[in-house]
Amino acid sequence: MAVGNLDMPVMHPVQGVRIGITEAAIRYKNRRDLTLFEIAEGATVSAVFTQNSYCAAPVLLCRDHLARATPRYLVINTGNANAGTGSVGMDNAVATCRALAALMGVPEARVLPFSTGVIGEHLPVDRLAAALPAALARLDANAWADAAAGIMTTDTRPKGASEQVVVGGMTVTVTGISKGAGMIRPNMATMLGYVATDAAVAQPVLDELLKGAVNQSFNRITIDGDTSTNDSCVLMASGAAGNAVITSADSADYAVLEGAVQRVFARLAQLIVRDGEGATKFMTVQVEEGASTDECCDVAYCIAHSPLVKTAFFASDPNWGRIVAAIGNAGLAALDVSRVRVYLNAVCIVDNGGRAPAYTEEQGAAVMQQEEITIRVCLGRGSARDTVYTCDFSYDYVKINADYRS
């Protein structure tokens, strides 16, 4: 089940980046579950990772490798998270990098490993390593759509976005893929996200570009409030487009590239919510008139995480009491509820801290029948605002997660 348009767009190839996908039988047979990225020499690469303290072995190894070298290869497996696996898990992550490095004649530190799937089971690194030659043989600049399918777990649709803009007189491409449908409340990025551009970008500027894009996209979505052990997001800049290297975030070229990157990230993040496990509603939680951005986010996440709110939306029940209860749970100091207003789309349901005088249950019910709904909260405390995207909880969410290991 998915909400809205999840169709794969035209995925423009990115000069300097090739992708290979194959079957390694990591967890299931006859399923593409191993994906490689090859990044051109001279590229810059930036990445962010989960803030879950119980993070997976590949996350720890990626951080170490990034501190030592610029990556040439990314190796991604699905079906097994290699998390909660102790020293054996780290050994398997190292063995993955060593196997690919040996095939390609590069230092191990120039390979980054990524895993997603079941936590607590050891990665079958022998099967993974045996499949590497097949993935390498299929390296292709036009394989983005296949890669989007290759990194899926409980996703029902592959997720991709792609744009082209003119930077410094050169056509520049930004293309990316993501995966994720459950255990989603990133504190950095998404479950897995890979975005590449052929623009030339200096490393400090790329780091800033990634941070800004993540904070307004993957850090503004939630399915169930759970932050994964494996969340990872990578932004690659091959430099193959031929533009002058972007060395400042204050330049006009940066502004153009930033716009394209942010649009791609926003689309990838929202696709995850639209494909949330069992989702039937896409919900935008917009909080305005806050004293700070942080408190706007606190309120938005309290609403977006509330099982009572999410199940009411699944039932198309305009039970606005659940929304105001969630607002109150955000812990805002000295909140004057008499100044709070709440809207479902354009319908004012709460005013002066209580039911809006003109509101009728029929108005609320009509909005709740829609697939895409905006909850807008006006706090009456200031001028800050922010937005979080989420989905409802359906019977299928429980079933998917109850049967996850079956």
Q: Which residues contact 7 (CB under 8 A, 6 or more apart)?
A: none
CA angle (392 as vertex; 386, 397 as ends), nearest 5 = 130
Kindly report the number of other CB atoms within 10 A of residue 64's CB atom. 13
Alpha-carbon 195 to chain mean position: 11
Tokens 């659940």 label which residue?
322
- b/e sequence 365-383, b meaning 16+ C-beta within 10 Å: eebbeeeebbbbbbbbbee
Kindly report the number of other CB atoms within 10 A of residue 241's CB atom. 21
Q: Which residues contact 101 (CB under 8 A, 6 or more apart)?
A: 73, 107, 108, 110, 111
- CB–CB of 211/193 below 8 Å? no
Given the residues 190, 222, 227, 284, select the one marked as catalytic: 190
Sign of torsion over alpha carbons 383, 389, 395, 399? negative
Per the annotation, the verdict on 190 as an active-site residue is yes
Give me the active site residues, please.
190
